[in-house]
Amino acid sequence: MAILYILIPIALFFISLAIVVFLWAVKTNQFDDLERRGHDILFDDDIETPQKVSQQPHINPIKSSSVDHDRT
């Protein structure tokens, strides 16, 4: 029964915290337009053209096995 003296204030704290966060979200217009951001990702008009890739040959850092090694 003594645990209720601890749990009730903790529950009231979390309820008041949830109310404060909800009121902050409403005040800062977080719920104004829920659909626009979802559609913005589908209709992205500011896509940049890819840069021209340089025509330098690719150099493989791993030596091939055809190289003769000195096995002394």
Longest dimension (CA), the chain: 86
21: helix, strand or coil:
helix
Contacts of 25 (CB under 8 A, 6+ apart): 31
Nearest partner of 30 among 22, 18, 38, judged by Cα: 22
In this model, does residue 34 exceed pLDDT 90? no
Confidence of residue 33 (pLDDT cuts 50, 70, 90): confident
pLDDT at position 16 is 98
Tokens of 3: 């645990």
CA distance 42 to 45: 9
Of the CA atoms within 13 Å of residue 23, those in its CB half-sphere come to: 6
